[in-house]
Chains A and B, each alone.
Chain A
Amino acid sequence: MQKYYNFWTYTIPKNWEIAFFTCICAIFFVPLHSILKYTMLTNLIEYDHVTHYYGKRLIYQDLSFSVPRGRILGLLGKNGTGKTTTINILSGFIQPHAGTCRLLGYDTRTMPSKERARIGLLLEGHVQYPFMTIAQIERFYAPFFPKWNKEAYYELMRLLKVKDYQILSQMSNGQRSQVALGLLMAQDPELLILDDFSLGLDPGYRRLFVEYLRDFCKRGEKTVFLTSHIIQDLERLVDDCIIMDYGKILKQCPVSELITPEKTLEDTFIDLTGKY
């Protein structure tokens, strides 16, 4: 039996003491480990030295970035620079050739399926099920998400003045984007991944979308990773920004550093990437 030579005891521990200590450790260690792991997790997205090819075509090599908790990061780049590829790798729909991608501390390739409830995903073009009505799509998604907030969804639908029985396929792009946003708000995820949310939206709906999203994120301290091809909206939304060109990151910094009284974010983007 091992002797303890420290300040609180010089006695040999009894068997029941060892058993008790072991039990306490066992009871508290696992949940504590999880809690500590989560609370100490500062970066909800870690994109670590990722290289990806389509066939023999290199999309990018050794790309790294991270998104800290509570920040909204916008990925900007011209068409074909790999924005959607990045979204697909983050969402687990593509496995990178090299490097690792971690979401909420999990490698996307091995992430337990139930953890996906903590990640909200908006597909390019606000793709949803067009054959469902407003009520049916809410009813479909509700059982999957433990924190489902039905009211948040219907509140947005009421603001939009759409009826429960309206079918998505018969709605405008703008209305569909709000439905998709409403579903994300009802899901109440910690991390949102939005692929080109501005696609197909007129300026009015873009503004509406950005405002609702900003309010939602700020209220709930959400972490967001988004891409957009319309840069002017992002100034009001994103905290940090990555500007990508073919195969590399041109700039990664807080948006505030890129905006001056003379220059908008869009001007800086054009300066960096050339006219588009």
Chain B
Amino acid sequence: MRTKQSKIPTIQYLIIGLGIIVCVWLLPALYRLVAPNTSRTPFVVYSCLDSSFIQFETINKQVQYTDFKGNTFTKHEADSLLPLFAFRQLVAEGRLPDSLFGVALTPKLIQQNAFHFKTSPKQLNKPAVGLYTLLESASGRVDLQLPPDVFRLTDKGIEFIDCETNTVNKAKSLSFSRELEKYGFVFPVQLIWGNGSTRKDYDNGFLLTDSQNRLFQLKMVKGTPWVRAIKTDGCTITGYKQLFTIEPANRQLVGLVVSDDNQLYAVRADGSMTHIGIDSYDPQTMQITIIGDMFHWTITEYTATDSRYYAVDARTFEQVARAIIPDPAPAIKERIMRYVLPVRLRFTSWDTQLIAPNFE
């Protein structure tokens, strides 16, 4: 009996270990609940008139407009400095300029060239379903409609599954796989991205890379496959990290892609690719927001240590302006917590939906 029960003290250590795990996990969370982190990040847009970044910051429930040089603006002035961003307000006030940089401005033209894109590591770091909806890109109808099937990726092609019968549509699968191969696509698919929502004006299908790290676009046009190999002339890309298909109103772009070396590229509607003039973008760790108008894109990146702001030319994607604002030093209560609880355990994180233990 005694010899068998000599295992029991081991269980005591196990209970102590489990208690420590619970403490290093929950005590920091409890501390954060009692003393929440109140730091906010401002909203920033590039002003093509002032050639500077204008930031919108809510302080004491009042929005303050400033630039990085410390100048403060009124709301009226800020609207004037950002005519393409605040065009609806300017139209309402009758203050919209007739033209800008020699281009005649109309609300419709501004709206058509407005572009918005936002993604975060949390949206990307999650297990994929493995099923994709390929919409009909040229149905002849104004509204997009859901197809009767979805597709999955296999080692040797793509496989369409008919929703009603839950069976593989072999003819369609073969036709799409063959068409891709005809354009030099070598299965299996490495990366794929598409937007299967019907709540958009049109459909750009899917961007996908093959086993040779080449980029293709796949669409369904009148029920038949439509494939295009994306030209990477002038871009030195060895591999891809992330693909995004986009459907901007001006129909000039097909997607945004991130290379292995964290460079961001725009895929144009003509199948060419252009480097976007920002230092780097790592989709696994950085949150990115792009607010574009007909002249410039404001690209904001939030990293773990700083906020980076870029303005790039909307046609050439060359960098026009750049500002990197380091995050403020941790507040005193945060430093106290780090001193009191030097080891912290988290299972959830701001940058992923996956649950996993992380010691800090």
Residues of A within 8 A of B (CB): 109-113
Interface residues of B in 1-16 (CB under 8 A from A): 1-2
- A113's nearest neighbour on chain B, judged by CB, is B1
Residues on A with C-beta less than 8 A from B1 are 109-113
Q: Is the interface of A mostly helix, strand, loop or mixed?
A: loop
- A108's nearest neighbour on chain B, judged by CB, is B1
Residues on B with C-beta less than 8 A from A111 are 1
Residues on B with C-beta less than 8 A from A110 are 1-2
| B1-33 near A? 1/0 per residue, CB < 8 Å | 110000000000000000000000000000000
Give the total of B residues in contact with A, Cβ under 8 Å. 2
CA–CA, A104 and B326, complex, Å: 78
Give 7 A-B contacts (CB < 8 Å), ordered by A residue. Answer: A109-B1, A109-B2, A110-B1, A110-B2, A111-B1, A112-B1, A113-B1
- A106's nearest neighbour on chain B, judged by CB, is B1
Q: Output the least CB separation between A2 and chain B (Å).
A: 38
CA–CA, A52 and B2, complex, Å: 20
| B64-101 near A? 1/0 per residue, CB < 8 Å | 00000000000000000000000000000000000000
Residues on B with C-beta less than 8 A from A113 are 1
CA–CA, A112 and B2, complex, Å: 9
Q: Output the least CB separation between A115 and chain B (Å).
A: 10
Residues on A with C-beta less than 8 A from B2 are 109-110
Q: Which 7 A-B pairs have the closest CB atoms?
A: A110-B2, A110-B1, A109-B2, A113-B1, A111-B1, A109-B1, A112-B1
CA–CA, A111 and B2, complex, Å: 9
CA–CA, A112 and B1, complex, Å: 6
CA–CA, A109 and B2, complex, Å: 7
- B3's nearest neighbour on chain A, judged by CB, is A110
CA–CA, A111 and B3, complex, Å: 11
CA–CA, A26 and B1, complex, Å: 27
CA–CA, A101 and B2, complex, Å: 15
CA–CA, A142 and B352, complex, Å: 58
- B4's nearest neighbour on chain A, judged by CB, is A113
CA–CA, A111 and B1, complex, Å: 7
- A107's nearest neighbour on chain B, judged by CB, is B2
CA–CA, A94 and B1, complex, Å: 14
- B5's nearest neighbour on chain A, judged by CB, is A109
CA–CA, A110 and B4, complex, Å: 10
- B1's nearest neighbour on chain A, judged by CB, is A110
CA–CA, A113 and B1, complex, Å: 7
Q: Output the least CB separation between A126 and chain B (Å).
A: 27
CA–CA, A11 and B285, complex, Å: 94
CA–CA, A112 and B4, complex, Å: 11
Q: Output the least CB separation between B6 and chain A (Å).
A: 12
- A111's nearest neighbour on chain B, judged by CB, is B1
Residues on B with C-beta less than 8 A from A109 are 1-2
Q: Output the least CB separation between A254 and chain B (Å).
A: 34
Residues on B with C-beta less than 8 A from A112 are 1
Q: Output the least CB separation between A211 and chain B (Å).
A: 36
Q: Output the least CB separation between B3 and chain A (Å).
A: 8
CA–CA, A113 and B2, complex, Å: 11
Q: Output the least CB separation between A190 and chain B (Å).
A: 19
CA–CA, A72 and B283, complex, Å: 83
CA–CA, A109 and B6, complex, Å: 13
CA–CA, A103 and B1, complex, Å: 15
Q: Output the least CB separation between A139 and chain B (Å).
A: 27
CA–CA, A110 and B2, complex, Å: 6
CA–CA, A11 and B1, complex, Å: 49
Q: Output the least CB separation between B125 and chain A (Å).
A: 51
CA–CA, A273 and B267, complex, Å: 101
Q: Output the least CB separation between A112 and chain B (Å).
A: 7
